Amino acid sequence: MKIEIWSDIVCPFCYIGKKRLEQALASFPHRDEVEIVWKSYQLHPQFPQDAAGIPAVKYIKDAKGLSEEETLGMMHQVQSIGKSLNIDFNFEKSLIVNTLNAHRLIHFAQEIGQGNVLKERLFKAHFSEGKDINHIDSLTALAVEIGLDQIAVEELLHSDRFAYEVTQDIQEGINLGLRGVPFFVFNQKFGIAGAQPLEMFEKTLRQAYDDAKPAIIMNDNEGPSCDSEAGCC
């Protein structure tokens, strides 16, 4: 079973959705047959890549026209959800940045089977540690920390490799009806929009798996049939 996930690293509900899917997979008897594929999505593609990060509290406050008290109250609600999933949301330290470089790095990591590990590390770096996940030095250090080759990572980040794939991911999601992230697609057939409750992930896993199972032949003896080689006569 393949699960494709459109998300952005600066999206708290993407982190929450990731954790809920992992909870559902932990009790799913066929979890070893599941392949996770991370797809790129950018919430702030208009941000210059060479610009300094904007504090998350200030950005949300200004973007939504809220007071600081209202902004912190809204963030506190998300923090409460995070605690139940062992996520330490530290919005006072988080920086809103352009995430193109981070997504390019995730594509690279997926090629060598480290996409899930890097995605988790980037989420934690952004939301808990306040790291600039657009800065090349920060991304390199995080990638090396999980075991990626430093020279290969530096060469990647100083190029435009995987930029096209990031754009293609975004367009593919839009074509599928994506309106926001996270967005989960199971076997290219069943979708979950948003960080839905655990029960929704459990139900969709079962449904997608059962739908993909081959038909069970109920009779022991083969009856009359046609085939492509011998025909029907």
Size (the chain), residues: 233
Please, which residues have CB within 8 angstroms of residue 112's CB and are 6 or more apart in sequence? 148
Domain boundaries, the chain: 2-212
2-212 to CATH, choices 3.40.50.1000, 3.40.50.9100, 3.40.30.10, 3.20.20.70: 3.40.30.10
Instruction: Say whether pTM exceeds 0.85.
Output: yes
Q: What is the pLDDT of residue 219?
A: 59
- Average pLDDT for residues 79-107, to the nearest whole number? 98
Q: What is the mean pLDDT of the chain?
A: 93
pLDDT in tens, 179-216: 999 999 999 999 999 999 999 999 999 999 999 877 56
Alpha carbon distance 12, 78 (integer Å): 8
- Average pLDDT for residues 159-178, to the nearest whole number? 96
Residue 233: pLDDT band (50, 70, 90) is very low
- Average pLDDT for residues 115-133, to the nearest whole number? 98
pLDDT in tens, 60-75: 999 999 999 999 999 9
Burial readout 173-206 (b: 16 or more C-beta within 10 A, e: otherwise): beeeebeebbbbbbeeeeebbebbeeeebbebbe
- Provide φ and ψ at 158, rounded to 5°: -95, 10
Please check whether residue 9 is in contact with residue 138, taking contact to mean a CB–CB distance below 8 angstroms: no
Please check whether residue 156 is in contact with residue 105, taking contact to mean a CB–CB distance below 8 angstroms: yes
Residue 51: pLDDT band (50, 70, 90) is confident
With tokens 């967005």, the residue in question is 183
Q: For the chain, first and last CA: distance in Å? A: 39
- Percentage, residues of the chain above pLDDT 70: 92
Q: What is the pLDDT of residue 44?
A: 94
